[in-house]
Amino acid sequence: MKIHVVEDYRQLSLKAATLVAGQVNMKPNAVLGLATGSTPEGMYSELVRLFHAGAVDFSEVVTFNLDEYVGLDSSHPQSYHYYMHHHLFNHVNIPAGNIHIPSGNAADMAAFCREYDQKIAAAGGIDLQILGIGVNGHIGFNEPGESLSVGTHLIELSRETIEANSRFFDSADEVPRQAVTMGMGSIMKARRILLLASGKSKAKAIRETVCGRVTPQVPASFLQLHRRAILIVDREAASLL
């Protein structure tokens, strides 16, 4: 695990965007695994800036998003479909057919999850997987528990996650109770992983990820076993290291 501690959120966003743009410049048809949430917003806005400045071209890039809430329409402002179009896809030149986001409304969820994993494999696997981290150590929506799932699957969101994500909704009652997420196996198979964390609220999860035991109680701790995992954390998120 390589850990970069940067001063603040802006530095984190710039460093992350530089790394993603570098990946795409090195391999124009790179397969990117993408995350949503507050943390990568600054990175996406910097990538949009780099694109408009002619510093990166996404025309051959293929993307797979980590997760989506169950039950929200893709036009819902809190859906991850909406988020991705709003922050990135509407502003860069990734072909629509190259974009993959799990559906939270598939009639046959098991079949959908299987197909999602098959599409990742058919694309050649993920070159660079971007991750945020939950206050409870989740990555994607792989929540702490007794065991972790390998492939894309349906999950029940934990109480902590519902509470943490209620800031995006009018109340905690409106936060969906379920989500579809890529599994730990799919994440760990990525050739490179970039985990971003900002702010004091993530400090404990970052300490457990870096210094704790590898345990399904802290899904991000499995990144200790990945050969090319990079963490970019700001001072506050690194404050308990």
Please give the residue ranges that form the binding site for ligand F6R (CB under 6 A): 35-39, 66-67, 132-134, 138-141
Active site residue 100: no
Active site residue 67: yes
Residue number, 57 or 163, with CB nearest to ligand F6R: 163
Catalytic residue among 46, 65, 67, 117: 67
Catalytic residue among 98, 136, 142, 165: 136
Report the C-alpha gap between 222 and 1 in whole angstroms: 11
CB atoms within 10 A of CB 216: 17
E strands present in 96-237 = 99-100, 128-131, 153-156, 178-181, 192-197, 229-234
Residue number, 37 or 104, with CB nearest to ligand F6R: 37
Active site residue 138: yes
Q: Which of 66, 59, 60, 107 is nearest to 84 (CA)?
A: 66
Active site residue 117: no
Catalytic residue among 68, 98, 117, 138: 138
| 3-state DSSP assignment of residue 241 | coil
In the complex, least distance from residue 66 CB atom to ligand F6R, rounded to whole angstroms? 4
Residue number, 51 or 141, with CB nearest to ligand F6R: 141
Residue number, 39 or 221, with CB nearest to ligand F6R: 39
Please identify the residue of the shown chain whose CB is closest to the bound ligand F6R: 132
CB atoms within 10 A of CB 40: 26
Q: Are 138 and 158 in contact (CB under 8 A)?
A: yes
In the complex, least distance from residue 40 CB atom to ligand F6R, rounded to whole angstroms? 7
In the complex, least distance from residue 53 CB atom to ligand F6R, rounded to whole angstroms? 26
Parallel, antiparallel, or unpaired: how do β-strands 67-69 and 178-181 relate? antiparallel
Tokens read off for 240: 């308990």
Residue number, 47 or 133, with CB nearest to ligand F6R: 133
CB atoms within 10 A of CB 213: 9
Q: Are 13 and 43 in contact (CB under 8 A)?
A: yes
CB atoms within 10 A of CB 33: 26
In the complex, least distance from residue 43 CB atom to ligand F6R, rounded to whole angstroms? 11
Residue positions annotated with a catalytic role: 67, 136, 138, 143
